[in-house]
A and B are shown apart, each in its own frame.
Chain A
Amino acid sequence: MSFGLEAVGLVRNFGALRAVDGVSFELQPGELLTVFGPNGAGKTTLLRMLAGVMRPDSGHVRVAGAPADVASRDWRHRVGIVSHQSLLYGQLTIEENLRFYGRLFGLDDLKTRIPERLASMGLSDRARTPVRELSRGLKQRVALARALLHDPEVVLLDEPYTGLDPHASAVLREQLASLKNGRRTVVLVTHNLKQGLELSDRVAIQVQGRFSSVTDSASLDLAELEVLYHAAVENPA
């Protein structure tokens, strides 16, 4: 059986520090996993390995059953990433940024695809605005449009709510909720227990590089998650 996303025994060291320590999980297509954890737990490092931006010291990742090796480029059109950084060029307009990334992904229908993505993010009237002139909330929407431009099967979200005001967070939450369209596999990394829980199918708590627990979110309410989270952080396995 092929999973949407599969991580097996991922380990990454930075000198003496083990940032990610034997993380394994499998996600079905359409599932959303939220990874919680304190600062320095290795969440971003984990996501960078899942995105193929960083090489694991050991372990491997599979995307839709295919090995997602860092040296290989072929599988990357299956994955989109949104980070707390926008991954955009401030000097270029929204449209130019999307066109550039579209070309990198070898898309040949950009004339129709870009306006569609901009419309779905409510950005049509700002297509020619330089990214540096956008608010943090709008920039995150452009970042999401960029990540979804090539219609990836796996979407990785690293602290997408960072720096957003409540309204911008709510707008982004709507956009992220729409990602769960039944076939897209999503991994969301966040500090915010409430925002993370409400979208997820499963939750994991990462402490000192390890997953201390992976739980179905249907069986959890926010209070229970808080208890679980604090227990994991205060008494790491």
Chain B
Amino acid sequence: MRAYLALVWAVTRKDLLVEFRTYERLTAMGAFAVLVGVLFNFSIDTAVVRPQDIAAALIWMTIIFGGMLGMGRTFRLEEEDGALAGILQSPIPLHALYLGKVLGNFILLSAMATLVFFVFGLFFRLSFSGNPVVLVAIVGLGVLGFVSLTTLFSAMATRSSMGESLLPVLVFPLLVPVVVYGATATDRLFAGRPVVEVGGNLRMLAAFAIIFTVAGAGLFRFVIEE
């Protein structure tokens, strides 16, 4: 088990090391998050709509669309000088490769999601003091579901001649549960509703994250092998 986790971490560590040398994906996702926050701030008429009432939906849409910018490049990195062939030739189990990629993407997207909450909190004057632990759980599970799915489909898109343009078409329909349950639960927390009211949403987000991570690990080899 320890050896397996070491393999997963080797992939994650390498992905993060490359990212922190270039900041390519973090820059794209971060800039998107800030720009969308600024645009929504100026485009919402506060005389008609209370920003707090629609903040949760906007936050989750920003995470999904911004995240897509970064996740789409998950396997582009491996294709640049044929590195994927080097990994595939190695003895690493392909589900460990997948889980390493998922973990790396989870860390990057969690950083981006934190920025999104910060930007929207600033502009929309949101309070996160009610149930921060539950909020972190909602975001963590939503992000895990998102990256487990996009990592799998990013590998598939890399193998396709349509490349990254194919990714949103494949992924968005399957992401509906993340957006619906994530936004609803976040909305209820912002409205100061009791935690018990978000329990169902949390369970659905957890189920989604587990199902797609397990299914992704199982299906990955059919996507990545030639």
Contact = CB atoms under 8 A, between A and B. Distances in A.
Interface stretch (B83-91, B107-115, B182-190, B197-205): B83-91
Question: In terms of DSSP, what is the predominant structure of the interface of chain B?
Answer: helix
A33 to B, nearest CB: 19
B149 to A, nearest CB: 24
Interface of B: 3, 6-7, 10, 13-14, 17-18, 21-22, 77, 80-83, 85-94, 221, 225-226
Given A77-B91, A87-B85, A100-B14, A71 B226 contact: no
Contacts of A88: 81, 83, 86
A233 to B, nearest CB: 27
- Most chain A CB within 10 A, of B21, B91, B225, is at B91
B83 A104 contact: no
Contacts, number: 83
A20 B225 CA distance: 18
B125 to A, nearest CB: 40
B224 to A, nearest CB: 10
Interface residues of A, number: 32
If over half of A's interface residues share one DSSP class (helix, strand or loop), that class is named, otherwise mixed; here it is: loop
A214 B95 CA distance: 39
Contacts of A85: 81-82, 85
A53 B17 contact: no
Given A53-B85, A86-B82, A103-B7, A91 B225 contact: no
Given A83-B85, A104-B92, 4 more contacts: A53-B85, A79-B89, A81-B86, A89-B18
Contacts of B14: 89, 92, 96, 100
B44 to A, nearest CB: 40
Residue among B22, B77, B82, B221 with max Cβ neighbours from chain A (10 Å)? B82
Contact of B80 (A52, A76, A90, A100): A90
A70 B85 CA distance: 13
Interface in A50-105: 51-55, 70-71, 73-74, 76-77, 79, 81, 83, 85-92, 96, 100-101, 103-105
Nearest to B10: A103
A48 interface: yes
A163 interface: no
A146 interface: yes
Contacts of A104: 7, 10, 87, 90-92
A53 B91 contact: no
